[in-house]
């Protein structure tokens, strides 16, 4: 039942997610586009409090699977549930209060300021008690993404990385319990790649569910609780980073030999391509000689 605040009705708010309970359930997702099978029987689940990374070579179906989960991509088979309810049964406004989506192509071509773009993330909360958080949510998102100094700049005047951070700030300002991120680090420098994944990790630690498409296997290993590896439109491995990221599997899927190493200080898993360039071979030989 709606309550009355300030003389006008406020919409009912969604129930918060319970940590460890399924926030997203995607079952046997298949997608066919222009007669071509893009995705076949892909199933994943994401619980509140965890980060799931979708990885795989170009064209493997990662972004298609994410788009099917968001409801933006029509499915030829399978079912998607958000918070236990079929995605088709949510009204768009309700869905926007439960999941925030960062698309791979998030260009802004109209001359909005950065602050205006971030404020767009608050639209789902209009006429609810949570619209009282608008100023705080926008200010926090600008600070977290290191774009406060750009707040009055027109978005088309920014660099690609600055625009990407503005779009990510909009998602953070939305303050939903589920984040669906398609290659959020693609246009970013080293520092801001780490910042984005740290923020995603922090949101999961606070009880949110995060699904992120990544190309960088080291970022996936460092920040994901679980990884789904896709190849040719199918999930070929699904588990913890140590379970999925084996040299044999990565070599087979990416057609690139790699070495899996453990960082001597942090213990982090490192995936390093095996390079056959004569310069690398000479350097490796020199290092071996110095050790012997």
| Domain end position, chosen among 213, 241, 269 | 241
Residues 213 and 112 in one domain: yes
- Give pLDDT, residue 109: 61
- Give pLDDT, residue 11: 53
- Give pLDDT, residue 6: 44
The stretch 241-263 carries a mean pLDDT of 96
163 occurs within a structural domain: yes
Query: What is this structure's pTM?
Result: 0.89
Residues 228 and 261 in one domain: no
Please say if the pLDDT value at position 278 is more than 70. no
- Give pLDDT, residue 86: 95
Residues 82 and 214 in one domain: yes
Residues 197 and 290 in one domain: no
Tell me the per-residue pLDDT of 46-82, one tens digit each, with 9 for 90 and over: 999 999 999 999 999 999 999 999 999 999 999 999 9
> Token pair of 11, please?
């919409």
pLDDT band at 33 (very low <50, low <70, confident <90, very high): very high
Tell me the per-residue pLDDT of 76-102, one tens digit each, with 9 for 90 and over: 999 999 999 999 999 999 999 999 999
150 occurs within a structural domain: yes
Ranking 33-42, 111-120, 193-202, 275-284 by mean pLDDT, the lowest is 275-284
Say how far apart CA 139 and CA 149 lie, in whole Å: 11
Residues 82 and 162 in one domain: yes
Please say if the pLDDT value at position 241 is more than 80. yes
Residues 22 and 117 in one domain: yes
Residues 237 and 268 in one domain: no
What CATH number is associated with residue 204?
3.40.50.300
Domain range for 284 is 257-292
Q: Are 203 and 228 in contact (CB under 8 A)?
A: no
pLDDT band at 199 (very low <50, low <70, confident <90, very high): very high
88 occurs within a structural domain: yes
252 occurs within a structural domain: no
Say how far apart CA 195 and CA 219 lie, in whole Å: 11
Please say if the pLDDT value at position 229 is more than 80. yes
Task: Report percent pLDDT > 70 for the chain.
Answer: 89
Residues 140 and 271 in one domain: no
The stretch 159-163 carries a mean pLDDT of 93
Residues 173 and 292 in one domain: no
Say how far apart CA 74 and CA 80 lie, in whole Å: 11
Ranking 40-49, 65-74, 100-109, 178-187 by mean pLDDT, the lowest is 100-109
Residues 203 and 112 in one domain: yes
- Give pLDDT, residue 2: 36
Please say if the pLDDT value at position 7 is more than 60. no
- Give pLDDT, residue 130: 94
- Give pLDDT, residue 285: 52
Residues 262 and 197 in one domain: no
- Give pLDDT, residue 276: 78
Please say if the pLDDT value at position 20 is more than 50. yes
- Give pLDDT, residue 8: 46
Q: How far is CA 161 from CA 57, 62, 109, 167, 203, in A?
A: 23, 22, 15, 10, 21
Tell me the per-residue pLDDT of 109-147, one tens digit each, with 9 for 90 and over: 678 999 999 999 999 999 999 999 999 999 999 999 999
41 occurs within a structural domain: yes
Domain total in the chain: 2
Say how far apart CA 93 and CA 116 lie, in whole Å: 20
Residues 87 and 56 in one domain: yes
Tell me the per-residue pLDDT of 214-224, one tens digit each, with 9 for 90 and over: 999 999 999 99
248 occurs within a structural domain: no
Burial class (CB in 10 A: 0-12, 13-18, 19+), 270: middle
User: If you average pLDDT over every residue of the chain, what do you get?
Assistant: 90
251 occurs within a structural domain: no
219 occurs within a structural domain: yes
Please say if the pLDDT value at position 12 is more than 70. no
């Amino acid at each position: 039942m709606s309550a009355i605040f300030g003389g006008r009705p406020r919409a009912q708010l969604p129930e918060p997610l319970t940590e460890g309970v399924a926030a997203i359930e995607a079952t046997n997702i298949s997608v066919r586009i222009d007669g071509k099978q893009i995705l076949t029987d892909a199933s994943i689940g994401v619980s509140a409090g965890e980060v799931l990374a979708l990885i795989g070579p170009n064209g493997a179906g990662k972004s298609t699977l994410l788009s099917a989960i968001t409801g933006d991509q029509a499915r030829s088979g399978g079912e998607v549930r958000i918070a236990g309810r079929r995605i088709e049964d949510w009204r768009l406004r309700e869905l926007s209060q439960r999941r925030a989506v960062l698309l791979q192509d998030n260009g802004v071509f109209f001359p909005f300021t950065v602050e205006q773009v971030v404020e767009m993330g608050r639209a789902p909360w209009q006429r609810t008690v949570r619209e009282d958080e608008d100023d705080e949510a926008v200010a926090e998102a600008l600070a977290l993404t290191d774009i406060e100094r750009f707040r009055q700049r027109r978005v088309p005047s920014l660099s690609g990385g600055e625009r990407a951070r503005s779009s990510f700030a909009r998602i953070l300002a939305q303050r939903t319990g589920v984040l669906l991120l398609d290659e959020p680090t693609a246009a970013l420098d080293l520092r801001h790649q780490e910042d984005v994944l740290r923020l995603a990790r922090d949101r999961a630690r606070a009880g949110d569910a995060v699904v992120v498409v990544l190309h960088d296997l080291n970022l996936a290993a460092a920040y994901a609780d679980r990884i789904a590896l896709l190849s040719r439109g199918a999930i070929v491995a699904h588990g913890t980073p140590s379970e999925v990221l084996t040299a044999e599997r990565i070599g087979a899927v990416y057609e690139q030999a790699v070495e899996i190493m453990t960082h001597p200080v942090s213990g982090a898993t490192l995936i390093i391509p095996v390079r056959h360039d004569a310069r690398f071979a000479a350097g490796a030989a020199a290092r071996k000689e110095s050790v012997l």
